[in-house]
Amino acid sequence: MINRIRLLFNSETASIEARSGDDHRLAAAALLVEAARVDETYGEEEQVRLSDILKHRFEMNDEEVETLKAIAEEKQEASVNLHGFTKLVKDNWTGDERIGLIELLWEIAYADGKIHSYEDHLIRRVAGLIYVSDRDRGDARKRVAERLGLD
């Protein structure tokens, strides 16, 4: 898997929308990076939480996580919009998996202990782009808050 991730990183000619295979993982990771950065702080709490999420959600080892995270950070920074990333998720993940991604975005948003309005807005936008209803988005937030003891 790490070689496929590196291949994605080294492929300058292929657009994110055109590639297949593990691209939806890279797209999801880039969305998580966006959630971590959107409040203009990308602190240790967000970075540690992001690594944990990638490791467990995608069943990766530490080296694969760090590689994917680095690539996702670069892709997110270079991206001008979310559509390429959200399209890959929408097209490759089931409804329950997409709701699960919204939960992961809430976990990143809560990593520093508070939800910034930019984080809330981003998650609302992503949910709409990947066809997760407002109700499911709200329920996902409640589940994460309960899991984290923030309810």
Amino acid 24: pLDDT: 85
Note whether 112 and 46 are within 8 A (CB).
yes
- Alpha carbon distance 46, 13 (integer Å): 31
Contact 83, 16 (CB under 8 A): no
Fold (topology level) of 23-147: TerB-like (1.10.3680)
- pLDDT per residue as tens digits for the range 52-66: 999 999 899 999 999
Mean pLDDT value across residues 17-38:
80
Q: What is the pTM of this model?
A: 0.83
State the CB neighbour count (10 A cutoff) for residue 58: 15
Residues whose CB falls within 8 Å of the CB of residue 64, separated by 6 or more in sequence, listed in order: 1, 2, 5, 58
Asked if residue 69 lies in contact with residue 54, where contact means CB atoms within 8 angstroms, the answer is yes
What does the pLDDT read at residue 86?
Answer: 96
Per-residue pLDDT, 106:
97
In the block, residue with structure tokens 């999420």: 53
Q: What is the pLDDT of residues 59-115, one digit of tens each?
A: 999 999 999 999 999 999 999 899 999 999 999 999 999 999 999 999 999 988 889
**Residue 9 predicted with pLDDT over 80:** no
Residue 143: both structure tokens together: 């589940």
**Do the beta carbons of residue 31 and residue 108 sit within 8 Å?**
no
pLDDT of residue 40: 84
Considering the chain, what percentage of its residues have pLDDT values greater than 70? 85
- Per-residue model confidence (pLDDT) at position 113: 82
Cα gap 64→60, rounded to integer Å: 6
- Across the chain, mean pLDDT equals 86
Q: Are 39 and 118 in contact (CB under 8 A)?
A: yes
Question: CB under 8 Å to 88, separation ≥6 — which residues?
Answer: 16, 17, 23, 24, 26, 27
How far is residue 151's CA from residue 136's CA, in Å, rounded to a whole number?
A: 17
Q: What is the pLDDT of residue 19?
A: 43
pLDDT of residue 23: 84
